[in-house]
Structure 1
Amino acid sequence: MWETFYIKPNEIGILYHRSDFKKILQPGTHTYFGRHWQVKISDLNQPQAQIENLELLLRSYEAELQEHLLIIRTAFNQAALVRCGQNWVSVAPNQLRAFWRGFIEVESHLFNLEESLELPSSFVQQLRSVTLNGLKKFQISEYEIGLLYLQNNFVRPLEPGEYAFWSVDRDVTVRILSRIIPNPDFPLEDVLIEKHPDFIAAYCETVQLLASQVAIVRYRGKVISILPPTSRKLFWQGVAVEILDISADAQLQPSLVAELVEGSTEVKLLSRNCLHICQVPAQHVGLVYINQEFQGQRSPGVHAWWLFGRSFQTEAIDLRLQNMEVSGQDILSKDKVPLRLNLTAGFRIQDPLRAKNGLSDISGFLYKELQFALRGAVGERNLDTLLEDKGAIDRSISEYIRQKAADYGIEVDSVGVKDIILPGEIKAILSKVVEAEKTAQANVVRRREETAATRSMLNTAKVMEDNPVALRLKELEVLERIAEKIDRIQVNGSLDSILTDLIRMNP
């Protein structure tokens, strides 16, 4: 019995007899006598050969198989790349692969993973758009730098470019940092500083401070970081570092105050947790306490101190003339008349340190003492005395409060009672008293004026009695007054009888 097999031009066959390998069949027609022949056909368009028991066949038929196959065998520390036409295949360590020769161009490249995990740049460019198992590719832009880590251990920096690394049995990662950010978040800074000094010297600026030092880091003239004492930090090269010793004096110079306190919003955010700031307005003086001890006075302006290792307390004391109102004080006079008084006082602080150290609450102290002085001045006087001489209250209070305030460096400029408010019934009584007094005064004046008028009339009568001409003038004056009220007067006879006739007229 004959068995015939046809192999197409794009195929290749493997001839077996009773499962034993016999030969490789090229494209064409093949005829064999007998039974139990079989052919396994492979499509050459898929160059990777799928051959059972390849390891065993190579032991007996390696020469014949090598003639038709590209055999790739990788050790535990090796990997391979196989190019089949335009396609690529990766081969992991400890692998055996076979690829058909002839129909599609096939080439292989073996790599020793112990020497380097990095793929040469020529292969990286060819594999740019290809995804392969066991290979990791990374792109570093021109403004970046990559940190290569193998099994979480730093290996070396990667400059801008394209990279590919074998990661078949190892963890390969690249952490990309921006070069345009001068203070990136370096991974494990302390490890980089201690274990990789070459990388630090080539790329970084290290800032390490003592317990009494503070650092200001600037990039292109702008503050980008403020470092506290005992800190250690990495920056890219190109930054300017200013280290300040704050052991003796923690106060900032005016130039630093303008930069850190009154500068841009970003800089203010950096410095707000590092500085104690005191703003002293005009006509004020600032008192500074460091660690609960007085350290001096400060003139108007903005002052700042480094906070590290110290506690600060500052207070601005107003030196201008200030007013205080003591209102609604209900007090009994000496004659038990309830009064409500409003007092005002003007004062200024002459010795801020004395006032602050002696008094916990300056305004509270003055208010209380003015209350005491007002009660004492009013309680010692009767109502009539208070109403007749209000200045006596002012003088009494002024003498008392000036001495009390002077003991604490405070000058009282003026003290005065603004209002004395009487109860309603007392107001009514006083109103009646005033009304009676004014009525009596009016009666006296009226009687005086009546007496004067009578005396004047008597004097006039005597003059007229002794002087007829004056009498006639008086008559003419009376006639003129009457004429003002009458439309027309008809005179018959002489003027001598006019007055006589008028008198006789009926109303």
Structure 2
Amino acid sequence: MWKTFYIKPNEIGILYHRSDFKKVLQPGTYTYFGRHWQVQTYDLNQPEVKIENLELLLRNHASELQEHLLIVRTAFNQAALVRLGQTWVSVTPNQLRAFWRGFIEVEAHFFNLEESLELPAEFVRQVRGMALSGIKRFHILEYEIGLLYVQNNFSRPLETGEYAFWSVDRDVSVRSFSRIIPNPELPLEEILVEQHPDFVANYCEIVQLQNQQVAIARYQGKVIAILPPTSRKLFWRGVEVEVIDISSDAKLPTRLVAELVSGLPEVLVLSRNYLHICEVPAQHIGLLYVNQEFQAQLPSGKHAWWLFGRSLRTEVFDLRYSTLEVSGQDILSKDKVPLRLNLTAGYRILDPLLAKNGLSDIPNYLYKELQFALRGAVGERTLDALLEDKGAIDSSIFEYIRQKTADYGIEIDSVGVKDIILPGEIKTILSKVVEAEKAAQANVIRRREETAATRSMLNTAKVMEDNPVALRLKELEVLERIAEKIEKIQVNGSLDSILTELIRINRS
């Protein structure tokens, strides 16, 4: 019995007799006698061989199979890339794979994973855009730097470019950081400093501060970070760091106040948590307390201190003339008349330190003492005395409050009662008294004027009696007054008869 087998041009076959491998058949026609022959064909368009029991066949027929197959066997620490024409296939560790030779060009490249997980650059370019099992690709842009981590442990930095790494039996990751951000948040900076000094030396500026040191980091002349004592921080190279010793003097010099406090708003936001800032306006003075102890007086301007390791407190006092109103004080006079008074006092602080050390609340102290002085001055006088001489109240209060404030560095410039408000019924009584007094004064004046007028008339009559010319002038004056009140007057005869005729007219 004969059996004929046909192998197509794009195929290859393996001849078996009773399941035993005999040979590899190239394309063509083959005839064998016997019923137990069989042929397994494979499409060469699928270059990878899918042969059952490949391991067993290679053990017994390796030399013959290797003439037709590219055998790729990887150990536990090996991986491979197989080029199949223009395509690449990755082979991970502990694998056995085979590929047909001759139909397309095939070649294998092996990689020792214990030596390096990175693919050489020429392979990275050739496998670009292909999905390969067990390989991770990363692209670092021109403004970035990459940090390679294997099993979450830092391995090395990556410059700009394309990279590929085997990741079959371990985790490989890359964290990219922008070079144009000078203060990157690098993970586990302590580990980088202690275990990777070469990376730190080549790429970073390291800041490591002692207990009484602070640091200001600047990039291109702008403040980007302020570091407290005992801190450690990594910046990219190019960052300028100024370390400041604050053990003896925590106050910032003028140039740093201008930069950190009066400069850019974002810089003030950075420094606000680390500084105690006090602004003393013009005509004011400030007091500085460090750890609850007075240290110095502060002139007008902006002042700032580092907060670390100390308690700071500042108070600002106005040295200008100030007024204090004591309003609505209900007080009984000596004759039991209820009064309401409003008082104004002017003062200025001459010695802020003395005032602060002696008084916890200066305005409240002045208000209370002015109240006491006002009650004492009003309670010792009757209503009439108060109304007749309000200046006496002012003098009494001024002397009292001046003595009370002299020991606290406060100068009283003036004290004055603005208003004395009487109850309604007292106002009515006083109004009547004033009205009666004014009426009496008016009567006296009226009588005095009447007496003076009578005396004047008598003197005039005596003059006219002795002097006819004066009488004639008086007549003319009377005529003038009459002429002012009538539209027209006609005189007939002489002027001698005018007065006589007028008198006659008046009688009629």
- Fold-level similarity (TM above 0.5): yes
In structure 2, the partner of 1:456 is 456
TM superposition shift of 1:498: 4.0
Amino acid at match of 1:426: I
- CA gap 1:207/1:451 in 2 versus in 1, 3 angstroms: same
Cα distance, 1:493 vs structure 2: 5.3
1:184 aligns with 2:187: no
CA distance in 2, matches of 1:110, 1:463: 157
- Matched with 2:415 is 415
Residue 258, structure 1, aligned to residue 226, structure 2: no
Amino acid at match of 2:238: G
Provide the residue aligned with 1:380 in structure 2: 380
SS at match of 1:180: coil
Could you say if the C-alpha distance between residues 10 and 433 of structure 1 is closer, same or farther in structure 2, counting changes exceeding 3 Å? same
Structure 2 distance, partners of 1:488, 1:154, is: 130
Tell me how far apart the structure 1 counterparts of residues 10 and 472 of structure 2 sit (CA, whole Å).
170
Q: How far does residue 456 in structure 1 lie from its aligned partner after superposition?
A: 2.1
Q: String of CA shifts for 1:140-195, please: whole Å, max 9, x gaps.
A: 22222222222222222222222211111111222222222222112211111111
- Residue 33 of structure 2 corresponds to 33
The more displaced of 347-356 and 185-194 is 185-194
Q: Distance in 2 between matches of 1:79 and 1:358?
A: 85
Deviation at 1:486, TM superposition (A): 4.5
Report SS of the residue matched to 1:272: helix
Q: Which whole-Å CA distance do the structure 1 matches of 2:463 and 2:340 have between them?
A: 64
Cα offset, 1:238, TM superposition = 2.3
Instruction: Give 1:126 shift.
Output: 0.6
Which amino acid counterpart does residue 337 of structure 2 have in structure 1? V
Partner residue, 2:67: 67
CA deviation digits over 1:429-486, x for unaligned, max 9? 1111111111111111111111122222222333333344444443444344444445
Kindly provide the amino acid, as one letter, of the partner of residue 195 in structure 1: Q
Q: Structure 2: state its 5+ residue gaps.
A: none
What is the rounded CA distance, in whole Å, between the counterparts of 2:494 and 2:159 in structure 1?
145
- Counterparts in 2 of 1:484-499, with a 5 A limit? 484-487=484-487, 494-499=494-499
Alignment of 1:72-83 (within 5 A): 72-83=72-83
Cα distance in 1 between the residues matched to 2:348 and 2:28: 120
Q: One-letter code of the match for 1:183?
A: N
Task: Name the aligned partner's letter for residue 43 of structure 1.
Answer: D
Residues 233-244 of structure 1: pairs in structure 2 closer than 5 A: 233-244=233-244
Q: Deviations over 1:344-374 (max 9, x none)?
A: 1111101110000111101111111111111
Which residue in 1 is equivalent to 2:435? Answer: 435
Alignment of 1:137-176 (within 5 A): 137-176=137-176
Q: In the alignment, which residue of structure 1 is the partner of 2:345?
A: 345
Residues 245-394 of structure 1: matches in 2 within 5 Å? 245-394=245-394
Q: Could you tell me which amino acid in structure 2 is paired with residue 319 of structure 1?
A: L
Give, in whole Å, the separation in 2 of the partners of 1:474 and 1:266: 99
Tell me the SS of whatever aligns to 1:238.
coil
Change (3 A) 1:326 1:54: same
In the alignment, what sits opposite 2:89? 89
SS at match of 1:407: helix
| Letter of the 2:343 counterpart | L
TM-score (norm 2): 0.95
Alpha-carbon distance, 1:491 to partner: 5.4
Instruction: Give the structure-1-normalised TM-score.
Output: 0.95
Pairs within 5 Å for 1:108-147: 108-147=108-147
**CA shift for structure 1 position 504:** 3.5
Structure 1: distance between partners of 2:46 and 2:171: 32
Q: Between 16-25 and 266-275, report the one with greater CA deviation.
A: 16-25
| Pairwise CA distance, 1:76 | 1.0
Q: 1:492 to 1:246 in 2, by over 3 A?
A: closer
Letter in 2 for 1:189: E
Rate the CA distance shift 1:60–1:472 in 2: closer, same or farther, 3 A: closer
In the aligned structure 1, how far is the partner of 2:372 from the partner of 2:94?
A: 102
Higher mean alpha-carbon deviation, 189-198 vs 304-313, is at 189-198
Q: Report the CA distance shift for 1:480/1:411 in structure 2 as closer, same or farther (over 3 A).
A: closer
The one-letter code of the counterpart of 1:264 is L
Distance 1:476 1:239 in 2: 114
Ranges in structure 1 where 5+ consecutive residues have no aligned partner: none
The one-letter code of the counterpart of 1:287 is: L
Secondary structure at the counterpart of residue 67 of structure 2? helix
Distance 1:41 1:420, change over 3 A: same
Equivalent-residue separation in structure 2 for 1:349 and 1:481 (angstroms): 73
Tell me: CA distance 1:106–1:388, structure 2 relative to 1, closer, same or farther (3 Å): same
Q: Distance in 2 between matches of 1:473 and 1:369?
A: 76
Describe the shift of the 1:61–1:390 C-alpha distance in structure 2 as closer, same or farther (beyond 3 A). same
User: CA RMSD of the aligned region, Å?
Assistant: 1.8
Shift in CA distance, 216/471, structure 1 to aligned 2, threshold 3 Å = closer
Deviation at 1:32, TM superposition (A): 2.8
Q: Does 1:478 align with 2:454?
A: no
Query: In structure 2, what is the Cα distance between the partners aligned to 1:402 and 1:447?
Result: 52
Query: 1:496 offset after TM fit, Å?
Result: 4.0
Partner Cα distance (1:179, 1:503) in 2: 126
Q: Which amino acid aligns with 2:24?
A: I
Amino acid of the residue matched to residue 110 of structure 1?
Answer: F
Give the aligned partner of residue 219 of structure 1.
Answer: 219
Structure 2 vs 1, CA of residues 490 and 10 (structure 1 numbering), >3 Å: closer, same or farther? Answer: closer
Residue matched to 1:54:
54
Separation in structure 1 between the aligned mates of residue 458 and residue 16 of structure 2, nearest angstrom? 178
- Given the superposition, is the C-alpha separation of residues 216 and 472 from structure 1 closer, same or farther in structure 2, using an over 3 Å criterion? closer
In the TM superposition, what is the alpha-carbon distance from 1:68 to its structure 2 partner? 1.2
- Measured after TM superposition, the shift of residue 503 of structure 1 is 3.4
In structure 2, the partner of 1:204 is 204
Q: Shift of the alpha carbon at 1:333?
A: 1.0
CA distance in 1, matches of 2:38, 2:503: 180
Could you tell me the percent identity over the aligned residues? Answer: 79
For residues 43 and 72 of structure 1, the distance between their equivalents in structure 2, rounded to whole angstroms, comes to: 19
Distance 1:102 1:488, change over 3 A: closer
2: distance between equivalents of 1:490 and 1:145? 128
Deviation per CA, 1:384-428: give whole Å up to 9, x if none. 111111100100000000111111000001111111111121111
Distance across 2 between alignment mates of 1:467 and 1:148: 139
SS at match of 1:320: coil
Q: Displacement of 1:488 after TM fit?
A: 5.2
SS of residue paired to 2:102: coil
Q: Which amino acid aligns with 1:451?
A: T
> CA separation of 1:467/1:231 partners in 2, compared to 1, >3 Å: closer, same or farther?
closer
Letter in 2 for 1:478: V
Q: Deviations over 1:32-86 (max 9, x none)?
A: 3332443322111110011000011112221221111111111111111100011
